[in-house]
């Protein structure tokens, strides 16, 4: 059965730049022409859903291959909006392959789930031991006619990572407000869940400690800059993985606050590990 939208992208190193060497789209998925936000040679690709939202029974398939030594930044043009799904959940499957020394950063706009919405996303990653992976996600609720919070039914984000052919990471995020579990009380009264998964040979104990200290300084100190975006600072936790890497979760009151957590860590990684400028996610 054909997918509602399908996208395939292959990126390779050509001289001082990484560039698309293979590209295919069909249905309700498109990719905009790459732009280069800085002098690093890393292209930024923007994925687009021209339909503007996901409906019940929709299915989407994405495959991205980053060849040896290549680097890519992936984002979206706007938030992913999931509406009522009486015909069944929206299903999205992502396959990501990172060759030796490859690097992939995925920083999409938030996933917004509206009343009676169900969304299932499965991400499968195959990466070389010296490759670098950073996957960000933000989930929040959409507007409801009765103005009650968390009226969607379910959001499931499942990520599996294999490093050097061996299973290394399983990351499951399941939000089921209607089940009486993960509503406002389980989220500390917050409305946004932010997630960042990093697998990178440089993400050792020292790097994880540095990330925790950076987040504590910015978001836990009385003068933390997050206060500029929200009356309450986000709740943040960072867990070390069994392989070099870490998983971050944050609970926040706004998209700006959730993004601030993710961007703080990504920008530290970009500067410390790659000598690169902060994220530039301008939408074209």
Which domain, by its residues, includes 45?
5-274
In Å, how far from its chain's centre is CA 121? 11
What domain count does the chain have? 1
Residue 280 covered by a domain: no
- The mean per-residue pLDDT over the stretch 83-104 comes to 97
pTM listed for this prediction: 0.93
Range scoring the smallest mean pLDDT among 1-10, 11-20, 62-71? 1-10
Inside any domain, residue 26: yes
Cβ–Cβ < 8 Å for 253, 219 = no
**Average pLDDT taken over every residue of the chain:** 91
Q: At residue 179, does pLDDT exceed 60?
A: no
Residue 51's pLDDT band, with cuts at 50, 70 and 90, is confident
Would residue 14 count as lying in a domain? yes
Tell the residue number behind the tokens 């009151």, with chain if given. 253
30: left (phi over 0), alpha (psi -120 to 50) or beta: beta
Q: Find, among 213, 211, 209, 216, the residue nearest to 267 by Cα.
A: 211
At residue 79, what are phi and psi to the nearest 5 degrees? -60, 150
Domain-located, residue 226 = yes
> Is residue 282 a part of any domain in this protein?
no
The mean pLDDT of 211-234, rounded to a whole number, is 72
User: 151 lies in a domain?
Assistant: yes
The pLDDT of residue 230: 47
Cα–Cα dist 22/223, whole Å: 47
H/E stretch holding 98: strand 90-98
Angle between helical axes of 255-274 and 205-219 (0-180°, round to 10): 140
Judged by phi (left if over 0) then psi (alpha if -120 to 50, else beta), residue 11 lies in: beta
Q: Is residue 279 part of a domain?
A: no
Of the chain, the percentage scoring pLDDT greater than 90 comes to 80
From 240, 233, 279, select the one nearest 256 (Cα to Cα): 233
């Amino acid at each position: 059965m054909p997918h509602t939208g399908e996208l395939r992208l292959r990126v390779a190193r050509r001289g001082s730049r990484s560039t698309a060497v293979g590209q295919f789209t069909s249905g309700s998925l498109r990719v905009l022409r790459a732009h280069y936000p800085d002098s690093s040679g890393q292209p930024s690709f923007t994925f687009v859903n021209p339909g503007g939202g996901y409906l019940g029974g929709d299915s989407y398939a994405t495959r991205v291959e980053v060849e040896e030594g290549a680097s890519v930044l992936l984002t979206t043009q706007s938030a992913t909006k999931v509406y009522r799904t009486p015909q069944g959940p929206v299903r999205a499957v992502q396959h990501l392959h990172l060759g030796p020394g490859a690097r992939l950063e995925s920083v999409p706009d938030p996933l917004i789930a509206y009343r009676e919405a169900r969304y299932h996303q499965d991400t499968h990653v195959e990466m070389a031991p010296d490759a670098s992976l950073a996957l960000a996600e933000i989930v929040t609720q959409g507007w409801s006619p009765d103005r009650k919070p968390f009226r969607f039914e379910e959001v499931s984000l499942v990520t599996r990572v294999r490093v050097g052919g061996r299973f290394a990471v399983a990351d499951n995020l399941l939000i089921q407000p209607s089940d009486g579990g993960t509503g406002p009380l389980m989220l500390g009264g917050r409305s946004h869940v932010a997630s960042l998964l990093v697998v990178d040979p440089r993400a050792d104990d020292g790097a994880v400690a540095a990330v925790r200290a950076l987040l504590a300084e910015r978001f836990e100190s009385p003068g933390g800059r997050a206060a500029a975006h929200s009356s309450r600072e986000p709740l943040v936790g960072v867990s070390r993985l069994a392989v070099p890497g870490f998983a971050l979760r944050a609970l926040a009151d706004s998209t700006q606050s959730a993004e601030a957590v993710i961007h703080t860590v990504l920008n530290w990684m970009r500067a410390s590990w790659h000598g690169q400028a902060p994220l530039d996610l301008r939408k074209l």
